[in-house]
Structure 1
Amino acid sequence: MAYKSTAALSTATHVGILPRQSWLKRIITMFDVRKTRLDLAHLSDEQLRDIGVTREQVETELQRPVWDVPNNWRRH
């Protein structure tokens, strides 16, 4: 499906009719999310304080499934 204007793309995005990502891209994104969360878990308490995250928040983040990410994290 080709979009002819930015307004049409914006409207399509808003109503959720854009084509879905390929399965390969989704799997790669899931691996990236998991690696990022594990990297976060390896930060020291001092480093976590520097970025404004508590150890408890990290533990909560690690419990989330790999597909549970904010929409703005998803690659399009």
Structure 2
Amino acid sequence: MSFPLSLRRAAARPRLRLLPLLLSRLGLGRSRRRLAELDTHLLRDIGLSRAQADAESERPIWDAPSHWTR
């Protein structure tokens, strides 16, 4: 049995939105790992303490600020 084209397209839409979300969250995790690797003087240049950088780098990838996901 074949489904109408409109139903097939509607079923494909959630998958199309999932990939960009997954890629952005993986990028967020990569950025957080890199933040943890920065030296203290580089962190000072961007206005963060070592404790702030460590706290941010330990956050899970699904814990992103809402203004990042718009």
Give the gaps of 5 or more residues in structure 2.
1-13
Task: With the length of structure 2 as denominator, give the TM-score of the two structures.
Answer: 0.69
Percent of aligned pairs with the same amino acid: 34
Q: Please report how far the alpha carbon of residue 43 of structure 1 lies from its aligned counterpart in structure 2 after TM superposition.
A: 1.1
**Structure having the higher Rg:** 2
Which AA in structure 2 matches 1:41? A
Matches within 5 A, 1:15-34: 22-34=17-29
Give the gaps of 5 or more residues in structure 1.
1-19
Per-residue CA distance 1:12-58 (angstroms, 9 max, x = gap): xxxxxxxx881111110111101111111111100000111011111
Number of residues paired by the alignment? 56
Q: Which runs of 4+ in 1 moved over 3 A?
A: none
The answer for the alignment partner of 2:38 in structure 1 is 43
Task: With the length of structure 1 as denominator, give the TM-score of the two structures.
Answer: 0.65
The answer for the alignment partner of 2:68 in structure 1 is 73
